[in-house]
């Protein structure tokens, strides 16, 4: 019997519940917004009383090299706002996760997209307008043109680093 493909909404839910569970294990009080907050998926209160807002992006794929974002993710950074990227690894192994402050992510993807727009595409044609933004967790090929030197090293400091939320 062939395994049925998991619906996109369920993959997103799995990512949110996974992050909420990890936060709970660190003694946070975590609440999933269930779509009631436009930009945030989780509101969490740290053991020290710090409130953090988290947007969760999840993929099921074990071979995923990055995460799609949107033009809306270029704006709205704040000291208490973080992005959690969860790679669920086809539910075969422990998920991988990256917690990136919005103060780092928002300008990063904005600048990367600007570089992408200013770089000729296929057949030396200009890139068209796009609301899609891309955050690579593994730089390869053309991604290297758009992200700052050392991004491969930079992203490793956000890997499974939930403690920065304390």
The residue extents of the domains of the chain are 8-165
Q: Which helix (H) or strand (E) holds 151?
A: helix 151-156
Q: Regarding beta strands 42-45 and 51-59, do their DSSP bridges make them parallel or antiparallel, or are they unpaired? A: antiparallel
Q: Are residues 41 and 26 in contact, defined by beta-carbon separation less than 8 angstroms? A: no
Topology, domain 8-165: Trna Endonuclease; Chain: A, domain 1 (3.40.1350)
Tracing tokens 């998920």 back to the chain, one arrives at 95
Measured distance CA(27)–CA(53) in Å, rounded: 16
Residue 21 dihedral angles phi and psi, to the nearest 5°: -65, -45
The pLDDT assigned to 37 comes to 81
Q: What is the pLDDT of residues 24-61, one digit of tens each?
A: 999 999 999 988 888 999 999 999 999 999 999 999 99
Of 8-12, 14-18, 24-28, 107-111, the poorest mean pLDDT is in 8-12
For the question of whether the overall pTM of this predicted structure is more than 0.85, the answer is yes
Q: What is the pLDDT of residues 103-153, one digit of tens each?
A: 999 999 999 999 999 998 889 998 888 999 999 999 888 788 899 999 989
């Amino acid at each position: 019997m062939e395994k049925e493909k998991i619906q996109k909404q369920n993959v997103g839910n799995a990512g949110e519940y996974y992050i909420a569970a990890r936060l709970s294990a660190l003694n946070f009080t975590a609440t999933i917004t269930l779509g009631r907050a436009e930009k945030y998926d989780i509101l969490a209160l740290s053991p020290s009383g710090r409130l953090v807002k988290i947007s969760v992006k999840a993929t099921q794929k074990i071979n995923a090299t990055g995460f799609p974002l949107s033009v809306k993710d270029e704006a709205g950074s704040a000291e208490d706002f973080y992005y959690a990227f969860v790679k669920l690894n086809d539910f075969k192994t422990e998920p991988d996760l990256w917690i990136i402050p919005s103060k780092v992510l928002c300008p990063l993807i904005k600048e990367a997209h600007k570089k992408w727009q200013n770089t000729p595409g296929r057949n030396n044609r200009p890139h068209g307008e796009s609301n899609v933004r891309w955050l690579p967790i593994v730089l390869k090929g053309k991604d290297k043109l758009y992200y700052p030197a050392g991004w491969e090293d930079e992203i490793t400091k956000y890997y499974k680093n939930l403690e920065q939320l304390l």
